[in-house]
Amino acid sequence: MPKTPKSSPPKTAKTKANRAKRRRLLAMLRQVVQKEKAARAERHAGIRQAPRAGKPRARRPSRR
């Protein structure tokens, strides 16, 4: 026998404020992570382009 859908509780000002706060925090966190990834990629690209001092690398390093 299929279950009947249950109605959701009424939205209060407090729950709306908490949801909005959580959305803002998560958006800010995503933005910070995105900036950090971009900076990291930039640093790694800079390292890779620099010529290697001494002997050339014989084999590729492990990806792990």
Quick: pLDDT tens for 3-15.
899 999 999 999 9
User: What does the mean pLDDT of the chain come to?
Assistant: 84
Count of H helices and E strands in the chain?
1, 0
Look at residue 44 in the predicted model and tell me its pLDDT. 79
Is 8 inside a domain boundary?
no
Say how many Å lie between the first and final Cα of the chain, rounded. Answer: 51
The string of pLDDT tens digits covering residues 26-51 is 999 999 999 999 999 888 777 665 56
Is 56 inside a domain boundary?
no
Task: Tell how far CA 52 is from the center of its chain.
Answer: 32
Range of the domain at 38: 15-47
Is 42 inside a domain boundary?
yes
| pTM, full prediction | 0.54
Is 38 inside a domain boundary?
yes
How many angstroms separate the CA atoms of 15 and 4, rounded? 25
Look at residue 1 in the predicted model and tell me its pLDDT. 67
29-35 long-range Cβ contacts below 8 angstroms, 24+ apart: none
Look at residue 37 in the predicted model and tell me its pLDDT. 93
